[in-house]
Amino acid sequence: MKNWIRLGLVFFTLLTGASARCLATPVGAQDTALRKAELDEMLRIFPRSLAWEQWLKSSGELPPNFELLPSYPYLPNPFRLDDGQEVRSRAQWIQRRQELLQLFQHYTLGSVPPPPGNVRVADIKTRHEADATVQAITLEFGPEHKAKLAMELILPPGPGPFPVFMTQDTHYRWAMAAVSRGYIGCVYAGADSRDDTGGFVPIWPDYDWSKLTRRAWAASRCLDYLCTLPIVDRARIALAGHSRNGKVALIAGALDERFSAIISSSSGAGGACSFRFFSEAQFGEGIEMITRVFPDWFHPRLRFFAGRERKLPIDQHELIACIAPRPCLISTALNDPVESVWAIEQTFYAARRVYSWLGAEDAINLRYRPGGHETRAEDIEAYLDWLDTKFGRRNLFRASSPIYPTYADWLQADLWQ
């Protein structure tokens, strides 16, 4: 019986040409029966995730109709508009970027509220440390200014305007290193070490943003405030993060074009490693593992695609493409257990096509370091060298060369020599 349903849907797909990379269009009872059967199969096969089961129950959501979603075993083409046309002009790219951001919000990030437009300082405490002035600030915003967010600014001496190096609370020392180079250091409470963003959930009940997305959105609220300060060079505001915070940096950079540069260090799954090239099938951390071990980092809907990565309507190269043409550094360690150099390079090559198309091929760079997941002081200095170079302050950075060939090169290679 199930096969008849399946066959009917294949004909439907062929007849209607329903292949857009958006939501699979429901087609009534047959469709629901198929999707329910699919879900039962998932619950039977997947390792158990209580958080996911709870979400399934509370949302009543079923998997998409996979028959109606096209398969992309390689990475989806970021230039294909939802109506099937190819992007040919800047205006079309702007449209495509918006489509991609909608798709990301639906499938991986969850939805985000519009900028509240009313960010103000609730509290500010100033102290002096060596030559720097440190301001511990509490921002408040949103409906009735109910949302609170702690941030700290470390200001170098002088009137400015200064470039800004923004990062999450965890990386305070990165910010200090930036201050020693004449940046304003800015850290905010959107990290495991200090996180004010859980408080946003009841304030915006209509949005289903995931934890990392909230943290990315919080960075934008700091930016709202920074943009009001004459001491800030608004054209030079960078956001950096490592690992889960490296994922956050990419999300924030994609969602908010005011970030002028992004440093994404060892961001791995859901970061600069595409889901198609880094998954359990490659003995890596893919959709199954990340949505089970960290069920609140991404939208639970992502878990429907475990083992069906080829059906995911977007992939991570397109998140990075949403940052283009702004500078983006993708950094990884050569033996990082939660990353894959192969996956990063394929993601990088695919994102770089968008950068090239926008005339900014050199704005996206790779940096490799020896060893595992952790960073060393010299890595942070190298990130700052990269930033100084991109911000036209100095020219110190040398990008790493990719190790693997592109897929196109590989296809052309004489594999039998």
CB 84 within 8 A of CB 182: no
Among 269, 312, 344, 351, binds ligand GCU (CB under 6 A): 269
> Minimal distance in Å, beta carbon 281 to ligand GCU?
16
CB of 97 to ligand GCU, least distance (A): 25
Q: Least distance to ligand GCU from the beta carbon of 199, Å?
A: 22
Residues 193-232, mask of contacts with ligand GCU (x by CB under 6 A)? ----------------------------------------
Nearest approach, Cβ of residue 336 and ligand GCU (Å): 9
Decide whether 97 or 276 has the Cβ nearer to ligand GCU: 276
Instruction: Give the span between the Cα atoms of 104 and 319, in whole angstroms.
Output: 8
User: With contacts defined by CB under 6 A, how many residues of the chain interact with ligand GCU?
Assistant: 7
Nearer to ligand GCU, 273 or 363 (CB): 273
* Backbone φ/ψ region at 189: left (φ over 0), alpha (ψ -120 to 50), beta: beta
Is the CB of 65 or the CB of 167 nearer to ligand GCU?
A: 167
- The two tokens of residue 417 are 């020599």
What DSSP string runs through 396-417? ---PPPPSSPPHHHHHHS-TT-
Q: How many Å apart are CA 176 and CA 190, to the nearest integer?
A: 18
Phi and psi (nearest 5°) for 27? -125, 50
Alpha helices by DSSP H, listed for 117-242, are 172-179, 200-203, 211-226
Over the window 282 to 301, marking each residue x when it contacts ligand GCU by CB under 6 A and - when it does not, the resulting string is ---x----x-----------
- Residue numbers 348-407 binding ligand GCU by CB under 6 A: none
Q: Which residue has the tokens 């036209």?
A: 392
Minimum distance between the CB of residue 196 and ligand GCU, rounded to whole angstroms? 19
- Contact yes or no for 284/278 (Cβ under 8 A): yes
Q: Does 338 bind ligand GCU (CB under 6 A)?
A: yes
- DSSP code of residue 25: P
Structure tokens of 344? 């990063």
Q: How far is the CB of 238 from ligand GCU (least distance, A)?
A: 20
Q: How far apart are CA 264 and CA 250, in angstroms?
A: 6
Query: Please, which residue, 322 or 338, has the CB nearer to ligand GCU?
Result: 338
Locate 149 and state its tokens: 């967010």
- Preceding omega of 325 cis (within 30 degrees of 0): yes
Tokens of 364: 């996206």
Helix, strand, coil distribution of the chain in percent, nearest 5: 45, 20, 40
Q: What are phi and psi of 247, to 5 degrees?
A: -65, -45
Question: Looking at beta carbons only, is 156 or 270 nearer to ligand GCU?
Answer: 270
Judged by CB under 6 A, the chain residues 16 through 45 that form the site for ligand GCU are none
Closer of 221 and 244 to ligand GCU (Cβ): 244
CB 174 within 8 A of CB 167: yes
Closest to ligand GCU by CB, 150 vs 269, is 269
Per-residue x/- mask for ligand GCU, residues 229 to 268, rule CB under 6 A?
--------------xx-----------------------x
Q: Least distance in Å: CB of 316 to ligand GCU?
A: 12
Report in angstroms how near the CB of residue 55 gets to ligand GCU at its nearest. Answer: 20
Query: Interface with ligand GCU by CB under 6 A: which residues?
Result: 243-244, 268-269, 285, 290, 338
